[in-house]
């Protein structure tokens, strides 16, 4: 579809009474509508409980008012929303849904285009896809696309089973696996920063970069997601998808063209070059943590093991730090450090590219003996880029001092950047799968992560809980870098807002 063409489709949201639909999907759809980016469309909300269309429309209205920026056309927007009370295992329920879909397709002239958005618990993904095929909802005259939320499986084996199930009804080209980090403005910016700037790409290799650090820290604890999180942990919840996706964008070769296939194949090559960490090596390359009690904003908070639906002896990690090596010509010898965790000191997702020191320090620097050049990409909550350079300290003498060149995304645009979900929904409607995860990426990242969970699952971590709530994780995570002569650049001090 050409960029200026407006998409036309029937959007079916499975899990329409859930948290994701309410907080993200309805407000995002509304934003697209309000910007005039949707042409002909209708939405069917599908969920278990029974609701009338009017009750459902009211919920959508409330969701947009609460989480978005509602305006006068909200009534018109919600008038296109319909509700279907559904049992995911019952064919007759799908057949009734199919009838409703046909009616809406005709009434709204939707060209037989259908988006099936699965915003519900992953154990239903396979069953739904199989029923969509069996009960003929995928027999369409236009396009059919499956948009599917994380987690995509629990390990490689379960991901393969799920993939096989959904592939019975949809081809790989029709599957849009959501990784909402790929919808974030500054994650999408990684490629532009790298490939549109003559001053970076020549330096983007092991001759000039000493290490790369990717941090994604949360201040929240597990909240009410204990049941899910106990089976997942930070490795599966964050590393397998979001962290490895960011690494692949940082490390990939320039694509020949900016097409979905070219970009994906370069990303896949990064995953293929990722050094597997197996058996006892896991202890040298990875650190796990679990939060203990502590204080956040001067409020006492409980340890992970005291949270609801969490085993009091839980061995689940709420923090992971790791050192990744990409064994190819460009990156040989350059560590990519990643860390992610809950209940940490700051909510921050940042990438720090640390350049190698110049061969000889001619200038005395008061603050530190060395001030390496850094390129910091601020992903969230603030969005921007900071370049750390050295300049002459004003006045007499030849002392150097660090200076920061700063680009704050929000400051320039004066607008909130579009939510990741808004962009990804729009991409799926337009048929652009670039910012979704291909099966090859899913499979390779699970095989990398499975080697680590295999070791962790078989050994209890006796030091748990090993970091205080409100800290930046366990000491071992600092040691991981210290052993290589590095340290984590503190996320709060390099904030774009503080520059």
Instruction: Please give the size of the binding site for ligand NAD, defined by CB under 6 A.
Output: 19
**And the tokens for 20?**
């994701």
DSSP string, 283-313: HHHEEEE-EEEEEETTEEE--GGGSTT--TT
Give the one residue of 32, 38, 64, 120 binding ligand NAD; rule: CB under 6 A.
Answer: 120
DSSP string, 450-481: HHHHHHHHTS--TT-S-EEETBSS-HHHHHHH
Give the one residue of 58, 67, 102, 122 binding ligand NAD; rule: CB under 6 A.
Answer: 122
342 marked as binding residue: yes
Give the one residue of 8, 9, 15, 277 binding ligand NAD; rule: CB under 6 A.
Answer: 15
What does the chain come to in residues? 499
The count of other CB atoms within 10 Å of the CB of residue 57 is 22
Report the residue number, 221 or 384, with the smaller CB distance to ligand NAD: 221
Residue nearest to ligand NAD (CB): 18
Report the residue number, 180 or 388, with the smaller CB distance to ligand NAD: 180
Residue 84 catalytic?
no
48 marked as binding residue: yes
> Dihedral, CA atoms, 483, 352, 425, 38, nearest 10 degrees?
180
Three-state secondary structure call for residue 2 = coil
Rg (CA), the chain: 24
Contacts of 381 (CB under 8 A, 6+ apart): 347, 348
Q: Is 129 in the site for ligand NAD (CB under 6 A)?
A: no
99 marked as binding residue: no
Applying CB under 6 A, which part among 18-26, 71-79, 183-191, 358-366 lies near ligand NAD?
Answer: 18-26
Applying CB under 6 A, which part among 81-89, 300-308, 318-326, 435-443 lies near ligand NAD?
Answer: 81-89
Give the one residue of 1, 19, 202, 295 binding ligand NAD; rule: CB under 6 A.
Answer: 19
491 marked as binding residue: no
347 marked as binding residue: yes
356 marked as binding residue: no
**And the tokens for 37?**
């980016």
Range 129-162 burial, b when 16+ CB lie within 10 A, else e: bebbbebebbebeebbbbbbbbbbbbebeebeeb
Binding string, residues 144-173; x marks residues near ligand NAD by CB under 6 A: -----xx-----------------------
CA 355 to chain centre: 26
Q: Is 352 in the site for ligand NAD (CB under 6 A)?
A: no
Give the one residue of 12, 47, 169, 274 binding ligand NAD; rule: CB under 6 A.
Answer: 47
Q: Is 20 in the site for ligand NAD (CB under 6 A)?
A: yes
Q: Is 123 in the site for ligand NAD (CB under 6 A)?
A: no
Applying CB under 6 A, which part among 15-23, 156-164, 340-348, 379-387 lies near ligand NAD?
Answer: 15-23
**And the tokens for 85?**
């009370």
Distance CA 253, CA 270 (A): 8
Give the one residue of 6, 18, 158, 461 binding ligand NAD; rule: CB under 6 A.
Answer: 18
Residue in this structure with the two tokens 């279907």, named with its chain if needed: 84
Give the one residue of 104, 119, 249, 277 binding ligand NAD; rule: CB under 6 A.
Answer: 119
Tell me how far, at minimum, the Cβ of 280 lies from ligand NAD, in Å.
33
Distance CA 175, CA 158 (A): 17
Q: Is 384 in the site for ligand NAD (CB under 6 A)?
A: no
* Candidate list 86, 131, 154, 242, residue with the active-site label: 242
Burial grade of 9 (CB within 10 A; 0-12, 13-18, 19 or more): buried
184 marked as binding residue: yes
Q: Is 86 in the site for ligand NAD (CB under 6 A)?
A: yes
87 marked as binding residue: yes
Q: Is 48 in the site for ligand NAD (CB under 6 A)?
A: yes
Please report the sign of the dihedral spanned by the C-alpha atoms of residue 313, residue 318, residue 323, residue 324: positive
Tell me how far, at minimum, the Cβ of 393 lies from ligand NAD, in Å.
47
Q: Is 103 in the site for ligand NAD (CB under 6 A)?
A: no
Which among 441, 376, 451, 444 is positioned nearest to 182, based on CA atoms? 441
Tell me how far, at minimum, the Cβ of 27 lies from ligand NAD, in Å.
12
- Strand runs labelled E in 112-270: 114-118, 144-148, 175-177, 209-217
Q: Enumerate binding residues for ligand NAD (CB under 6 A).
A: 15-21, 47-49, 86-88, 119-122, 149-150
Q: Which residues are catalytic?
A: 242
Please report, in range form, the residues annotated as the binding site: 48, 87-88, 150, 180, 184, 218, 237, 342, 347
């Amino acid at each position: 579809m050409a960029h200026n063409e407006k998409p036309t489709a029937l959007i079916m949201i499975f899990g329409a009474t859930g948290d994701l639909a309410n907080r993200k999907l309805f407000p995002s759809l509304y934003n697209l509508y309000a910007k005039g980016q949707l042409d002909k469309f209708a939405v069917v909300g599908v969920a278990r409980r029974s609701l009338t269309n009017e009750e459902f429309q009211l919920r959508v209205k409330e969701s947009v008012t609460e989480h978005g920026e509602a305006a006068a056309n909200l009534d018109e927007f919600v008038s296109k929303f319909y509700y279907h009370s559904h049992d995911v295992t019952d064919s007759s329920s799908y057949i009734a849904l199919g009838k409703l879909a046909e009616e809406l397709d005709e009434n709204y002239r939707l060209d037989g285009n259908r988006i099936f958005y699965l915003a519900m618990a992953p154990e239903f993904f396979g069953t739904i896809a199989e029923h969509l095929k069996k009960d003929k909802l995928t027999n369409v005259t236009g396009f059919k696309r499956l948009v599917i939320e994380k987690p995509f499986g629990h390990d490689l084996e379960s991901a393969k089973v799920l993939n096989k199930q959904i592939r019975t009804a949809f081809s790989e080209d029709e599957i849009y696996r959501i990784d909402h980090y790929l919808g974030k403005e500054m994650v999408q910016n990684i490629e532009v920063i790298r490939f549109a700037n003559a001053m970076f790409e020549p330096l983007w290799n092991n001759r000039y970069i000493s290490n790369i650090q990717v941090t994604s820290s949360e201040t929240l604890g597990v909240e009410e997601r204990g049941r899910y999180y106990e089976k997942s942990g930070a490795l599966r919840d964050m590393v397998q998808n979001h962290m490895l996706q960011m690494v692949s964008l940082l490390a990939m070769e320039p694509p020949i063209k900016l097409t979905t296939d070219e970009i994906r194949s370069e990303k896949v090559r990064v995953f293929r070059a990722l050094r597997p960490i197996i058996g006892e090596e896991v202890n040298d390359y990875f650190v796990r943590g679990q939060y203990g009690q502590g204080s956040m904003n001067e409020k006492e908070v409980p340890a992970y093991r005291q949270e609801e639906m969490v085993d009091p002896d839980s061995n689940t990690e709420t923090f992971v730090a790791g050192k990744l090596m990409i064994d190819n010509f460009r990156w040989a010898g350059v560590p990519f450090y990643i860390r992610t965790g809950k209940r940490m000191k700051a909510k921050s997702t940042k990438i720090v590219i640390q350049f190698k020191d110049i061969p000889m320090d001619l200038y005395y620097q008061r603050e530190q003996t060395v001030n390496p050049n850094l390129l910091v990409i601020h992903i969230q909550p603030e969005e921007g880029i900071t370049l750390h350079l050295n300049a002459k300290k004003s006045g007499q003498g030849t002392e150097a001092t660090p200076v920061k060149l700063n680009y704050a995304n929000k400051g320039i645009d004066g607008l909130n950047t579009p939510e990741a979900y808004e962009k990804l929904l729009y991409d799926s409607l337009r048929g652009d799968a670039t910012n979704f995860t291909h099966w090859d990426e899913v499979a390779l990242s699970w095989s990398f992560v499975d080697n680590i969970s295999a070791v962790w699952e078989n050994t209890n971590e006796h030091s748990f809980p090993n970091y205080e709530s409100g800290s930046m994780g366990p000491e071992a995570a600092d040691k991981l870098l210290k052993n290589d002569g590095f340290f984590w650049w503190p996320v709060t001090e390099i904030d774009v807002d503080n520059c």
